[in-house]
Each structure stands twice: as structure tokens, then as C-alpha cells.
């Protein structure tokens, strides 16, 4: 197991005076259990329960007091109950609604115990079969690895630090971009990253990709609420990868005969599992950035490596000198989205893009993010600044003073003067800074 950035967030959680039980939310196979196991090294006692084990689940199926329950957990884990720093990890908690309900009592009655919960199917069950105690727990999103974590796994620790601090020397730009292109090829699923770091074998990764994909497909029965939704989800998991980072229409998606309502329910179900995200546009150029749900969303998948595998474009990605030239630029936009998502631990955050609210206009900016009170438009595009027409239109109508262009070249800053006379700074950022661009923006 290699170090994950989210460990810093777990440490901040542990230091809180009014700490609540923490629920880790994320798709299966993103490393939730491994992350907690590594975090547990900071504790004197580690109590790990997996509620897929019927004996562990049975601990919660009684009327014991919270104190007696905790004693039973210590005994089950064969650990002495003494006054020290103790972490209790309840894995696969979705298997026991009683365990979910008990989280509030750990918070209220035994706050000195550090409690973390997680579950591989948790997302699809929240607010249906599972209801967490309101105001008694907090959440943290777990995503696939970001590029700096990939570098750390490869042993490129100093380069990872340079990326994290946005100080990669120009002489190392080509090397860093080559590594980023490899990251774009294989993606950020922890098992994939760990295997590649050990063997440097891209071809053998396909066995792992197939296993991951089969696992997601097998979960369909647990995600869906009826037979029709199961069929639609299966269809999305079969055909939807080909539409990564593209604007989609729900009705008859991917050439299907499914209606918008049916497809919408299936997509919302898969969104809850955090396998994908539908990014809706905003037409606003000033705060607040409200989403226009009547317009077509962009389909963003959990992992670019899986997209490359299922869509059959690994060879194209492997041989590309510039990832902006691959697959109409959609892979470049998908990996940018993945980097933005991987560095965001808020469960409720959704990505947005911008379209011009003018009839007949085709102006579109790839992503819009917010930093404090600033709106920052992001374009994923190479070439001369004159090609950034949509970005210029956005800036003409916005109070924003900074825009970002993601490309394969080295970092630079241009001062742009628009026809109106308005000036703004254009931050040209190499792909490897994407997940950390907020650190570069003053």
C-alpha cells in the first residue's frame, strides 16, 4: 500500500475536539479499507470489524448498552479494553442497519473512541435501506488516486513533492508529462497503480481491469430497485464508457430504446455509487453558479484507465505524443475531470461547465470551479490564445480576472487583452498541475 493524500484529512478529523464518527463514501475498489488500515498505525489499539462476517454483524443485533457493545467488540477482536487511543473501523456497515443506528451512541456516549465506517455498496443504499443519524456523523469522499499519488507509488517521491508544490523545473517538464501520459493510460484505481508500480507491465493490467468491471456489473442486482432499472444499468456499464467527457442526451442514450425517465433513474443510481458523475452546465458568469438541469450533462467516469480499457483505445493512448490529440480531446477532458475530483473530498460537490445563454450560440467552457469568491473558468486546449474564443467570451461577461488553460506544455502566465479593453491573466498549466490548480491561483 502506498501513501494516499486523504490520510491528511483523516488526521485533521482525528484532531477535532467535537469529533463525530466518520463515514467514508466512495465506489468499491478505491482503497477505503487499505486507507483505514494505514491510518490505524497512528493508534494504540485498532478494532476492525467486517460486517460481511455474520459473527461480527451479530454483535449489533442485541439490546446491549453502548458500553457493553464496545466491550464485546474488544473481546471479538481479541484486544484488551484499556484506556488508550483506540480506532474502531466498521467495514461493510451497510449489512447492519443496527450498526448504522449505533453510530450516534458512540458519538454521544463514548466520544473518546475514534469511529470510522465504510461500505462497498453504501452509496446505493443511503436514503433507501440505510439512514445515517442526522447531525451525528460526518462524511469524507474517497476517489481513485491522483497523479501525485501515482508518482509516490512509483517511488518518484521528490517529483511528487514538486508537483504538490507546483514547482516542477522546466528541465523536468518532459519527464513529468511522460509520466502523466502513463497515468492517463492506466488510470488511478489503487490496485492498478500498485501493480504497475511493482511490475511496470501495462498489458497484464487488463486482467485487473476486467475483474474491476465484472465486479461493478455484478453489483447491478444490488443497485437497482426493479428489473427494468437493472437492464438499463447493465446497458450503461456496457456502452456508456464510449461517451466519456461528452455531452449526452438521456433519452435513447448510446442508441438504446430506453426513454429519458428510465435512463435518468439508472444514471442517478450509478451516480450514487460514485461510479460516474453527470456534470451539468451553468449559464452564469457570476456567483452563484447554479446548474441548468434542463440542458445536456457531461458524462464523467470514475477512472480514465477503465474508460481506455472498455472503449478499446489503450493502444491509441499509449502511442500518443499529446493526450489532447486522442479521441477528439475527450480523454484529455476526462483525465482533467478525474484530477479535479480526486482532490475533492466533499461528498456533495459536483463538477460544472459553462454554456452561453444565447440562442444559436455554441460557446462552451470545459469546466467552471469556484475558489472562495472567485469564479475560475478552465479550458482543456492547446494552441494559440486566439483559439480560446469561448473562454474570451466568458471573460468578457464575467467579473473574473483569472482563467486557466490546461495543456501539455510548461507552466506560463499570459496577460490577455479583450476587444472591450478588459484584461485578464491566463494561467497556462501543464496537465500534471490540474488537481492542485487552486494552489496556484492567488
Residue pLDDT, tens place only, 261-287: 999 999 998 998 899 999 999 999 999
Backbone φ, ψ for residue 16 (5° rounding): -65, 140
What would the mean pLDDT of 5-15 be, rounded to a whole number?
97
* CA distances to 9, 141, 271 from 346, in Å: 11, 6, 15
| pLDDT recorded at residue 120 | 72
- Delimiting residues of CATH 3.40.50.300 domain(s) in the chain: 6-141
- Residue that wins the pLDDT comparison between 129 and 403: 403
DSSP β-ladder status, 86-91 and 276-282: unpaired
- Cell representation of residue 396: 468578457
pLDDT of residue 68: 96
- CA gap 239, 388 in Å, rounded: 32
CATH domain 6-141 topology: Rossmann fold (3.40.50)
Return phi, psi of residue 417, to 5°: -110, 120
Helix H or strand E encompassing 147:
helix 147-153
State the pLDDT at residue 130.
64
Residues 243, 299: contact at Cβ < 8 Å?
yes
162-181: per-residue pLDDT in tens? Answer: 999 999 999 999 999 999 99
Position 219 pLDDT exceeds 90: no
Of 91-100, 249-258, 296-305, the least confident: 91-100
Give the closest residue to 114 by CA, choosing from 6, 36, 3.
36
User: What would the mean pLDDT of 419-442 be, rounded to a whole number?
Assistant: 94
Predicted local distance difference test score (pLDDT) of residue 81: 94
Hey, which residues does 300 pair with through a beta bridge?
Answer: 277
Percent of the chain predicted with pLDDT > 90: 83
The pLDDT value given to residue 125: 56
Q: Across residues 102-114, what is the average pLDDT?
A: 94
Residue 152: the pLDDT is 97
Q: Distance between alpha carbon 362 and the CA centroid of its chain, in Å?
A: 29
The stretch 148-165 carries a mean pLDDT of: 97
Q: What is the pTM of this model?
A: 0.94
pLDDT at 72: 97
pLDDT in tens, 61-81: 988 899 999 999 999 999 999
pLDDT value for 124: 54
Q: At residue 109, what are phi and psi to the nearest 5 degrees?
A: -105, -30
pLDDT of residue 438: 87
What the block records as the C-alpha cell of 115 is 469511529
Q: Which pLDDT does position 123 carry in this prediction? A: 55
Q: DSSP for 95-132, please give it.
A: G-HHHHHHHHHHHHH-TTSEEEEE-TTHHHHBTTTB-P
Average pLDDT over residues 316-336: 93
Average pLDDT over residues 234-261: 96
Please say if the pLDDT value at position 413 is more than 90.
Answer: yes
Average pLDDT, the chain: 93
Amino acid at each position: 500500500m502506498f501513501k494516499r493524500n486523504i490520510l491528511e484529512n483523516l488526521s485533521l478529523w482525528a484532531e477535532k475536539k467535537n469529533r463525530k464518527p466518520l463515514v467514508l463514501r466512495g465506489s468499491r475498489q478505491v482503497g477505503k479499507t487499505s486507507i483505514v488500515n494505514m491510518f490505524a498505525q497512528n493508534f494504540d489499539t485498532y478494532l476492525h470489524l467486517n460486517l460481511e462476517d455474520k459473527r461480527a454483524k451479530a454483535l449489533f443485533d442485541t439490546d446491549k448498552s453502548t458500553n457493553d457493545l464496545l466491550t464485546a467488540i474488544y473481546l471479538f477482536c481479541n484486544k484488551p479494553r484499556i484506556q488508550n487511543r483506540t480506532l474502531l473501523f466498521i467495514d461493510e456497515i451497510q449489512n447492519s442497519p443496527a450498526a448504522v443506528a449505533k453510530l450516534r451512541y458512540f458519538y454521544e456516549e463514548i466520544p473518546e473512541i475514534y469511529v470510522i465506517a465504510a461500505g462497498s455498496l453504501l452509496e446505493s443504499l443511503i436514503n433507501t435501506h440505510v439512514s445515517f443519524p442526522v447531525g451525528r456523523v460526518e462524511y469524507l469522499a474517497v476517489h481513485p488516486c491522483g497523479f501525485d499519488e501515482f508518482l509516490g507509488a512509483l517511488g518518484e517521491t521528490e517529483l511528487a513533492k514538486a508537483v504538490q508544490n507546483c514547482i516542477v523545473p522546466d528541465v523536468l517538464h518532459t519527464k513529468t508529462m511522460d509520466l502523466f501520459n502513463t497515468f492517463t493510460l492506466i488510470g488511478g484505481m489503487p490496485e492498478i497503480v500498485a501493480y504497475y508500480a511493482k511490475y511496470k507491465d501495462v498489458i497484464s493490467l487488463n486482467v485487473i481491469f476486467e475483474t474491476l468491471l465484472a465486479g461493478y456489473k455484478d453489483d447491478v442486482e444490488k443497485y437497482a430497485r426493479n428489473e427494468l432499472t437493472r437492464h438499463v444499468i447493465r446497458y450503461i456499464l456496457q456502452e456508456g464508457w464510449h461517451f466519456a467527457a461528452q455531452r449526452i442526451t438521456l433519452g435513447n442514450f448510446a442508441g438504446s430504446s430506453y426513454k429519458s425517465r428510465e435512463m435518468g433513474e439508472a444514471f442517478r443510481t450509478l451516480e450514487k455509487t460514485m461510479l460516474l458523475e453527470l456534470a451539468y452546465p451553468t449559464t452564469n458568469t457570476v456567483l452563484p453558479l447554479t446548474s441548468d438541469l434542463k440542458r445536456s450533462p457531461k458524462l464523467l467516469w470514475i477512472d480514465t484507465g477503465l474508460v481506455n480499457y472498455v472503449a478499446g483505445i489503450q493502444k491509441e493512448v499509449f502511442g500518443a505524443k499529446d493526450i489532447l490529440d486522442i479521441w477528439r480531446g475527450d480523454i484529455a477532458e476526462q483525465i482533467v475531470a478525474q484530477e479535479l475530483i480526486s482532490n475533492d473530498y466533499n461528498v456533495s460537490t459536483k463538477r460544472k461547465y459553462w454554456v452561453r445563454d444565447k440562442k444559436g450560440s455554441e460557446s462552451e467552457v470545459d469546466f467552471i470551479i469556484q475558489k472562495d469568491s472567485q469564479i475560475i473558468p478552465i479550458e482543456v486546449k492547446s494552441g494559440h490564445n486566439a483559439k480560446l474564443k469561448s473562454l474570451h467570451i466568458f471573460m468578457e461577461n464575467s467579473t473574473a480576472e483569472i482563467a486557466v488553460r490546461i495543456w501539455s506544455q510548461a507552466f506560463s502566465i499570459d496577460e490577455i487583452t479583450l476587444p472591450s479593453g478588459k484584461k485578464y491573466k491566463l494561467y497556462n498549466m501543464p496537465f500534471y498541475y490540474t488537481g492542485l490548480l487552486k494552489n496556484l491561483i492567488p
